[in-house]
């Protein structure tokens, strides 16, 4: 993707946690884990460590590699650590909102980090505020923490309190909680956001994606089950099942766009899933062309699958500047009008005079596709056929993706033909939903496809959305 729009799609968050039994440097391990999960959020990052019951942390706006250095990591020692990379979804961007949240409550300290969005957080927050609770951040995680600290008064343990809290909160969440003696991981009852368990030596590790295990030399063990709470204490693992036999609803957009291609989620490798999407797309919407190219990065695997299926040469259509970070000063309108294009540049020799199939993972507002079609035409493409490896996005997501309002989703109020005209393509085709659902080969979960169908995985009131 080459998003440059601050006001549209947002990425989600990444989690990493380690309960250390082997004298690893937990902060350093978490640093490398977060580094591998940087694609899940580039706005801010933080690490909290548990040093004999005292929690120390460091968190800042920016990229993992900018925030942490040897000196900072050198001050973070502890037998348990959790870390987070964030790209705000429902909330505003405030420094106080950076995770992990570190809080002191009646039973001591705890640190929390989560990925997802609680759709009833605002209502709960209002109710708690009316009862005198004050909040220091705008995050739904702090609402969860407030519920947890209240429930803890009534329960024998934090995990029992969490079981109660999970009956009160609604939405998508993968959660890590660190207390003086425990590392706890939990996943919402529908398993909408990924979270998996790994091991390195005798140490347990949790991460949003399995690629983080590879980064730190750990072994993937399994995905956390929907509704499951895992507690690591004294080096031992215990688990609580809070919801039995509900149908899981993993966000299928994880495979389409979010996750790293080298991650395995719910048993399906993301790269293979995208390759397969390209093959199915080729069968469903073939094109006559001289070359197939993908929009870096999430369109590349699908482009390879598409090209292979139709026997059309696959080529590199663009060079992407890998150093464009969030602090990059975006070109003004005036600069853009002068042709300043920093992020992506077409390879003219590959494009000129050719009939090009251009594959991207999604069309949301249509801005990116329109821009890229124009780039390709300016580079001399004879024809540009756009193929998209997900169905038209017609509905907003309330579960952590934070897509634009429904009226701003181009497929909500335009037909495929109209979108084709708007983006200036010679033809346009989307993979069908049925086709997309076949792509996570080997996945052993159900999927949330609400952004393509409007069939939301839970009932929602007007106030919640
Ligand atoms: P748009 O330009 O609004 O049609 O958005 C589609 C482009 O955004 C595609 O190139 C995708 O790779 C990219 N994209 C899809 N989902 C997201 C997301 N949640 N956050 C940022 N970019 C995204």
The answer to whether 285 is a known catalytic residue is: no
Per-residue pLDDT of the chain (465 residues; tens, 9 = 90+): 434 334 445 547 999 999 998 988 999 999 999 999 999 998 899 999 999 999 999 999 999 999 999 999 999 999 999 999 998 654 456 789 999 999 998 888 999 999 999 999 999 999 999 999 999 999 999 999 999 999 999 999 999 999 999 999 999 999 999 999 999 999 999 999 999 999 999 999 999 999 999 999 999 999 999 999 999 999 999 999 987 667 899 999 999 999 999 999 999 999 999 999 999 999 999 999 999 999 999 999 999 999 999 999 999 999 988 877 655 676 777 776 666 677 889 999 999 999 999 999 999 999 999 999 999 999 999 999 999 999 999 999 999 887 778 999 999 999 999 999 999 999 999 999 999 999 999 998 999 999 999 999 999 998 888
For ligand 1, mutation pick of 363, 364, 411, 413 (most atoms within 8 Å of CB):
364
Residue-wise pLDDT tens digits, 393-417: 999 999 988 777 899 999 999 999 9
Which residue is associated with the tokens 């024809």? 383
pLDDT of 325 reads 64
Contact 296, 304 (CB under 8 A): no
pLDDT of 341 reads 73
| Ligand 1 centroid, distance to 65 Cα (angstroms) | 24
Which atom of ligand 1 is closest in space to residue 404's alpha carbon?
Answer: 3
Which atom of ligand 1 is closest in space to residue 298's alpha carbon?
Answer: 12
For the record, the structure tokens of 103 come out as 């809080």
Which residue is associated with the tokens 């993301």? 270
Relative to beta strand 427-430, strand 383-388 is parallel
| Ligand 1 centroid, distance to 363 Cα (angstroms) | 7
Which residue is associated with the tokens 């952004």? 451
Name the CATH superfamily, with its identifier, for domain 10-248. Answer: Aminohydrolase, N-terminal nucleophile (Ntn) domain (3.60.20.10)
Q: What distance in Å separates the CA atoms of residue 349 and residue 231, rounded to the nearest whole number?
A: 56
For ligand 1, mutation pick of 277, 297, 320, 362 (most atoms within 8 Å of CB):
362
| Ligand 1 centroid, distance to 258 Cα (angstroms) | 10
Judged by DSSP in three states, 383 sits in: strand
| Ligand 1 centroid, distance to 316 Cα (angstroms) | 20
For the record, the structure tokens of 461 come out as 């009131």
Residue-wise pLDDT tens digits, 233-248: 999 999 999 876 678 9
Which atom of ligand 1 is closest in space to residue 401's alpha carbon?
Answer: 19
pLDDT of 328 reads 64
pLDDT of 107 reads 84
For ligand 1, mutation pick of 256, 303, 368, 412 (most atoms within 8 Å of CB):
368
**What DSSP letter does each residue of 433-463 carry, written as one string?**
HHHHHTSSTT--S-EE-HHHH---SS---GG
What's the CATH code, domain 270-439?
3.40.50.2020
| Ligand 1 centroid, distance to 85 Cα (angstroms) | 19
pLDDT of 23 reads 87
Which atom of ligand 1 is closest in space to residue 360's alpha carbon?
Answer: 10
For the record, the structure tokens of 435 come out as 């086709």
pLDDT of 309 reads 98
Neighbour-count burial for 37-66, b at 16+ CB within 10 Å, e otherwise:
bebbbbbbbbbbbbeeeebbbbbebbbbee
How many CA atoms, within 13 angstroms, populate the side-chain half-sphere of residue 225?
13
Which residue, by CA, sits nearest to atom 12 of ligand 1? Answer: 1
Hey, where are the domains in the chain?
10-248, 270-439
Q: Which residues are near ligand 1 (CB < 6 Å)?
A: 1, 3, 8-11, 257, 295, 298, 360-369, 401
């Amino acid at each position: 993707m080459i998003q440059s729009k601050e006001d549209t799609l947002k990425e989600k968050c990444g989690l990493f946690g380690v309960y250390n039994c082997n004298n690893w440097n937990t902060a350093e391990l978490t640093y490398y884990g977060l580094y591998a999960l940087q694609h899940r959020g580039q706005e801010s990052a933080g690490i909290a460590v548990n040093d004999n019951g005292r929690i120390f942390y460091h968190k800042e706006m920016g990229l993992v590699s900018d925030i942490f250095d040897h000196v900072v990591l050198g001050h973070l020692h502890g037998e348990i650590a959790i870390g987070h990379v964030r790209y705000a979804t429902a909330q505003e961007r405030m420094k106080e909102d950076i995770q992990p949240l570190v809080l002191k409550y009646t039973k001591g300290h705890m640190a929390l980090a989560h990925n997802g969005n609680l759709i009833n957080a605002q209502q709960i927050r209002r109710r708690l505020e009316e009862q005198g609770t004050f909040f220091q951040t705008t995050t739904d995680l702090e609402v969860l923490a407030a519920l947890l600290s209240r429930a803890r008064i009534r329960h024998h343990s934090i995990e029992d309190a969490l079981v109660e809290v999970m009956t009160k909160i609604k939405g998508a969440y993968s959660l890590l909680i660190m207390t003086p003696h425990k590392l706890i991981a939990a996943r919402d009852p529908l398993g909408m956001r990924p979270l998996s368990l790994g091991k390195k030596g005798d140490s347990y590790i949790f991460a949003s994606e399995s690629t983080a295990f590879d980064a730190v030399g750990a072994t993937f063990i399994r995905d956390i089950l929907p509704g499951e709470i895992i507690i690591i204490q004294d080096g031992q693992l215990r688990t609580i099942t809070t919801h039995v036999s509900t149908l899981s609803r993993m966000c299928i957009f994880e495979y389409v766009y979010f996750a790293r291609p080298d991650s395995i989620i719910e048993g399906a490798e993301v790269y293979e899933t995208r390759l397969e999407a390209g093959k199915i797309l080729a069968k469903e919407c073939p094109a006559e062309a001289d070359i197939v190219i993908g929009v870096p990065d999430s369109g590349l695997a699908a482009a390879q699958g598409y090209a292979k299926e139709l026997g059309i040469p696959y080529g590199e259509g663009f060079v992407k500047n890998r150093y464009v970070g969030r602090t990059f000063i975006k070109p003004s309108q005036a600069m853009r009008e002068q042709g300043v294009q920093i992020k992506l540049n077409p390879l003219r020799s590959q494009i000129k005079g050719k009939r090009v199939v251009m594959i991207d993972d999604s069309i949301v507002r249509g801005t990116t596709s329109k821009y890229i079609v124009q780039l390709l035409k300016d580079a001399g493409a004879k024809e540009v056929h756009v193929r998209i490896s997900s169905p038209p996005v017609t509905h907003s997501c309330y579960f952590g993706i934070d897509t634009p309002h429904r009226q701003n989703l181009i497929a909500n109020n335009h037909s495929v033909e109209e979108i084709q005209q708007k983006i200036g393509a010679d033809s346009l085709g989307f993979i069908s939903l049925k086709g997309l659902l076949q792509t996570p080969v080997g996945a052993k979960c159900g999927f949330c496809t609400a952004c393509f169908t409007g069939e939301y995985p839970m009932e929602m009131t007007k106030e919640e959305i």
